[in-house]
Amino acid sequence: MAFATALGRVNRQLERLLNGVLLLLLAGFIVLIVYQIVSRNLGFLPRLYWTEEMSRFAFQWMIMLGTAIGVLHADHFVLEAFPHGSRLDRVTRVIRDVACLTVGLIFIVFGQAFALSGFNRIASASQLPMVVTYSTFFVSGVLIALFSLQRLLLTMGQGVDAMERELNTPSKIDELGDAPPTQTLDSPKTTDSPETRS
User: In terms of Cα–Cα distance, which of 72, 35, 73, 71 is closest to 55?
Assistant: 35
From first to last of its 198 residues, what are the pLDDT tens digits of the chain? 788 889 989 999 999 999 999 999 999 999 999 988 898 888 777 878 888 889 999 999 999 999 999 999 988 777 777 887 788 888 888 999 999 999 999 999 999 999 999 888 888 887 888 998 999 999 999 999 999 999 999 989 888 888 888 888 776 555 555 555 555 555 555 555 555 544
Name the percent of the chain in helix, strand, coil, to the closest 5.
70, 0, 30
Tell me whether residue 186 is in a domain: no
Tell me whether residue 196 is in a domain: no
d(CA 16, CA 23): 11
This prediction's pTM: 0.80
- The domain in which residue 50 lies consists of 7-77+87-169
Evaluate whether 38 touches 188 at the Cβ level (below 8 Å): no
Whether the CA torsion 15, 19, 24, 26 is positive or negative: it is: positive
Tell me whether residue 109 is in a domain: yes
Q: Domain tally for the chain?
A: 1
Tell me whether residue 69 is in a domain: yes
Tell me whether residue 185 is in a domain: no
Tell me whether residue 189 is in a domain: no
Where are the alpha helices (H) located in 42-190, listed in sequence order?
A: 50-72, 87-117, 131-134, 136-158, 160-167, 172-178
User: In terms of Cα–Cα distance, which of 69, 64, 82 is closest to 168?
Assistant: 69
Tell me whether residue 119 is in a domain: yes
Tell me whether residue 162 is in a domain: yes
